[in-house]
């Protein structure tokens, strides 16, 4: 018996990084999945691998730009009632505030916040009707801390936490749980690309590791294991809250 047997769960940004790790773990725990991503090639590859490892599971994959609400509504309408949703898709938008263009401001909100809301809006009616469902938003330590030079990303992630708490309270009495996970630095391709773009990639990596009390950053698989717990029935009294997974980074006052 898996911890997610007989669940149908949608995961956005499922083709790589944290989303892919979550998809693999969810399938291994018995869930049927709808994988969503904007990258067709990576998505098809991810779906093939997960199906091969879990031939008894239903693994659907749909290319979807979550910044387009009509696409989101169309995809979810065809798939039935969902037991869970993981809003993982996101994009880093880092600028000096006054150098942030309107287009970049809109891109940050359209993907990181409005896309998450569009997915929530698509699954909630059936969840409410069945009085059962779990939504998990992949937030960030940017949701409650600020790193200069990363505007407007923390603004959006603070808003995503507001969405989590608001929906969690609105629908708690109707059998719905809405929570968030706030990872710190995770060894995803985005972080590797960020190091590679630095003048001295090796030094950038050392500096990042040194920020963390454990001297390392998280793996995507560590975030995925927490996601299994948050989506499962093992935390039925947790809603409108956030689980921080950052190795103590956000608690540390000085290096």
The alpha helices in 13-114, defined as continuous H runs, are 17-28, 40-53, 69-77, 102-109
CA distances from residue 23 to 1, 45, 176, 240 in whole angstroms, order as listed: 18, 13, 21, 23
Question: Would you tell me how many other CB atoms lie within 10 Å of the CB of residue 202?
Answer: 9
Cα–Cα distance for residue pair 88/13, rounded to 1 Å? 5
| Domains defined along the chain, listed by start | 8-245 (3.40.50.720)
Which residues in the chain land under pLDDT 50? none
pLDDT at 44: 98
Query: Which pLDDT score is estimated for 16?
Result: 97
**Is 171 tagged catalytic?**
no
* Set 82, 109, 153, 185: catalytic member: 153
The Cα-based distances of 81 to 32, 122, 124, 228 in angstroms read 12, 10, 9, 19
- Tell how strand 94-95 and strand 151-152 pair up: antiparallel
pLDDT at position 255 is 66
């Amino acid at each position: 018996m898996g911890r997610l047997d007989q669940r149908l769960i949608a995961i956005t940004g499922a083709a790589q990084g944290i989303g892919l790790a979550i998809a693999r773990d969810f399938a291994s725990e018995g869930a049927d999945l709808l994988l969503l991503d904007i990258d067709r090639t990576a998505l098809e590859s991810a779906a093939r691998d997960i199906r091969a490892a879990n031939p008894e599971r239903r693994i659907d994959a749909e290319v979807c730009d979550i910044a387009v609400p009509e696409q989101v509504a169309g995809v979810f309408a065809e798939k039935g009632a969902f037991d869970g949703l993981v809003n993982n898709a996101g994009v880093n938008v880092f600028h000096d505030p006054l150098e942030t263009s309107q287009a970049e401001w809109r891109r940050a909100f359209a993907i990181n916040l409005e896309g998450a809301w569009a997915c929530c809006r698509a699954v909630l009616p059936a969840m409410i009707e069945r009085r059962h469902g779990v939504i998990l938003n992949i937030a960030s330590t940017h949701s409650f801390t600020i790193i200069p030079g990363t505007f407007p990303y923390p603004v959006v992630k603070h808003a995503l936490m507001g969405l989590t708490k608001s929906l969690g309270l609105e629908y708690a009495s109707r059998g719905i749980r809405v929570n968030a996970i706030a990872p710190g630095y995770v060894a995803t391709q985005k972080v590797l690309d960020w190091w590679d773009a630095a003048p001295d990639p090796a030094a950038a990596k050392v500096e990042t590791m040194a920020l963390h009390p454990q001297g390392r950053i998280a793996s995507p698989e560590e975030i995925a294991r927490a996601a299994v717990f948050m989506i499962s029935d093992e935390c039925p009294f947790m809603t409108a809250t956030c689980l921080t997974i950052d190795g103590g980074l956000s608690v540390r006052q000085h290096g």
